[in-house]
Amino acid sequence: MKKFLLIIILLLSLFPYISEKVSATSLVFKFDNEVVSDPDLQPFLLEGKPYDSGGTYYLPLDWIATQYKERLVKMWESKVLYVQRKNYSTMHIREENIYGSSYTKGKNRGIPLKTKTVNGVVTDMKMKAIVKDNHMFVPIDFISDPLGANYPVTVVEGEDTTTIYVGKLPSGVKPVKLIYDDARSYINQKVYSTQSEKSKRIGSFKEHQNIFIIASQNGWYQVRIGSKRGWIQSKYAAIGKFDGTEGKWYPDGWVAPVLKSAWSPNHQSNLKTLERELGFKAGGHDYSIQGAPNSIAIHDGSGQSEVMFAYRMWDGDANGYLKQAYRIPIVSMELFKLYFGKDAVKVWNYFNTDVPRKFTANGRLVTASFSEKSGSLYLEVGYKQKK
């Protein structure tokens, strides 16, 4: 009886190991769309070590360089590899050195084999190359990095199989466009293991969170999240850091502008503010949306007016036909802040109800008129009266 129980216990102890092996994602390495069959590499490719180490994919740099007919100098006793490139530069990889050095026209620069991004800051992950049985394995980041080996690499991650392509791709597989840039998420969103919302969720990003994008493919961004890689839909992120002073993000990717500068007695300075901060064009004279050019026009003043605003439309005028019409009131609030200060809300509310023929805002006399011919509403903004 004791012997029988011991056998049961031993069998049960194997289940976690068996389950892990069965559920593990298999890795496939293809060069020019052909499964790598080099007998010298197979032991490592099949076992996954160091081919996949802690979520970092390793590839044999010397073997790939040979396929591209680049010259190698192997010094395995010192665990050093030199790759003489066709562009006359040299890659210098040393196992105990965490850098791959590129010598181009006498310039020496150290390129990290792998980096990570924390709060928008890219740092070296201090990863080393690995020499195993006369091959130099390096992280895939270095293989594909434009500043590293710069070989064409595309990773296609499925539910059960991850295929790493180097070189040519099969028909139907779009190449990954390398980006390697800071970005920001404009909604709370999940990070998926593959380019599918049905795939495993490996993490999430918060609204306005700074993230790091590795590449783009098929309307998705490949991102770093901790030590892992995942995918988010590209329509929910934008290249560039969020500095905490920008306005609300909208589903179409537009970020509402926020006025940062104060009004200036110099008219040209104000026009530059409109152009630089609020998205006006033509030297600060024009704000347009798709399908409605010159939605807001800024004209130079004359006589008693400092400036004139000409409105061709407001949000409600579009009747849903112009998808970007919602931007006009948002930009107008910032425009009104520049000229009307604390009275900007009062002026903005007039546009949502009824604009008086004459009113005062921030010490300025404002005269409103409507042109049936042009279909535009005009506001003549007077000079600010001294108190």
Helix (H, G, I), strand (E, B) or coil at 165: strand
pTM of the model: 0.49
In this structure, are strands 161-166 and 26-31 parallel, antiparallel, or unpaired?
parallel
Q: Report CA 373 to chain centroid distance, whole Å.
A: 45
271 pLDDT above the threshold of 70: yes
Place of tokens 């042009």: 374
87 pLDDT above the threshold of 70: yes
pLDDT tens digits, one per residue of 293-312? 899 999 998 878 999 999 99
122 pLDDT above the threshold of 70: no
pLDDT band for position 146 (cuts 50, 70, 90): confident
Peptide bond before residue 175 is cis, with ω within 30 degrees of 0: no
- Of residues 186 and 273, the one with the higher pLDDT is 273
Of 67, 112, 107, the C-alpha closest to 93 is 112
Average pLDDT of the segment spanning 169-173: 84
- Of residues 365 and 163, the one with the higher pLDDT is 365
- 177-239 is classed in which CATH architecture? Roll (2.30)
Q: 278 with 309: CB under 8 angstroms?
A: no
CA distances from 92 to 61, 72, 104, 121, 136 (A): 11, 10, 12, 26, 11
Question: Which residues face 365 on adjacent strands?
Answer: 360
Query: What does the domain layout of the chain look like in residue ranges?
Result: 24-166, 177-239, 267-382
Place of tokens 């049960």: 12
Q: What's the confidence (pLDDT) of residue 210? A: 81
Place of tokens 């425009």: 335
pLDDT band for position 272 (cuts 50, 70, 90): very high
Q: What's the confidence (pLDDT) of residue 16? A: 31
Q: How many CB atoms lie within 10 A of CB 55?
A: 9
CATH superfamily, region 24-166:
Copper amine oxidase-like, N-terminal domain (3.30.457.10)
Of 333, 332, 353, 350, the C-alpha closest to 342 is 333
Q: What tokens appear for 204 in the block? A: 């999430």
